[in-house]
Amino acid sequence: MLAILLASVTLVSTGLGGLAAIRFRHQLHPLLGFSAGAVLAVVFFDILPEVFAAPSAPTHVMLAAAAGFLAFFALERYTALHGAREHPHQVLEHQTELGVLGAAGLSLHSYLDGIAIGIGFQASTRLGVVIALAVVAHDFGDGLNTVVVVLAHGNPLRRSVAWLLVDMVTPLLGATSTLFLRLPESLLPWILAFFSGFFIYVGASDLLPEARENDSPLIGVATVVGMLLVFLVSRALPR
């Protein structure tokens, strides 16, 4: 049940991200840098060590990490999320349905976030907690992007709010679904490695570039602080 409780916190972070997109879109770069650092720290300090420590992990398990990276690269390319964020003024060049498709892709992304939390708890309570912290951190960016991608394609504000609500709920649904699916121990290293690739993509290819749209030195500091905080939290939790 701790997985469900922590997944519920993403409701708040996603919602805050969406509200911030409506009001403070261009003042959020340090927060995005912090989120990127937190997400990458979970991979380096927790998920990958857990994968390699598993007695059932094969030597080629990192193929799953590559698959996770490429899967989410393909998801983002297909839904044209970067195009909406980089060129929000080009509204007339796109159909409103493309914005809806982008929001649906982000919602699927958030559903998989929830599954990552649940799978993490199946491996260990400690890993589940730190994955949940990473998801809470980067779902702020997901909420922000959901609103932006819908509005950037000429949709009305009420439609962006509707998709924000969907994006808020999906991590909770993902975590809940893992309560009814207990994975064999031999599969856990593969699943965790897959999500490590996912988080590397989110942190390095999505959050960091968006944070660096602003040249403030605070971006680098925020990224380091995000990594350090997750490192300290993960070391404080019992294994």
Question: What is the full per-residue pLDDT of the chain (239 aa) written as tens digits?
Answer: 788 888 888 888 889 888 877 776 666 677 778 878 888 888 888 888 888 887 777 888 999 999 989 988 887 776 555 444 444 444 444 457 766 777 887 788 788 888 889 988 988 888 888 888 888 877 787 787 788 777 766 778 888 889 999 999 999 999 999 888 777 878 888 988 998 888 888 788 767 776 667 777 788 888 888 888 878 877 766 65
**Cα–Cα–Cα angle for 73, 108, 143, rounded to 5 degrees:** 90
Cα 61 versus chain centre, distance:
22
Q: How many whole angstroms separate alpha carbon 31 and alpha carbon 35? A: 6
Return the pLDDT at 87: 47
The CA-based angle 171-225-28, given to 5 degrees, is 60
224: how many CB neighbours lie within 10 A of its CB? 14
Q: How far apart are the C-alpha atoms of 48 and 198, rounded to whole Å?
A: 12
Q: Coil, strand, or helix at residue 94? A: coil
pLDDT at res. 67: 94
User: Dihedral of CA 91/97/98/103: which sign?
Assistant: positive
133 in Cβ contact with 193 (< 8 Å): no
Q: How far is Cα 213 from Cα 178, in angstroms, rounded to an integer?
A: 37
Alpha carbon distance 219, 212 (integer Å): 7
Task: Please give the structure tokens belonging to residue 81.
Answer: 């999320």
What integer pLDDT is reported at residue 237 of this predicted model? 63
Structural domain for 119, as ranges: 2-236
Counted domains in the chain:
1
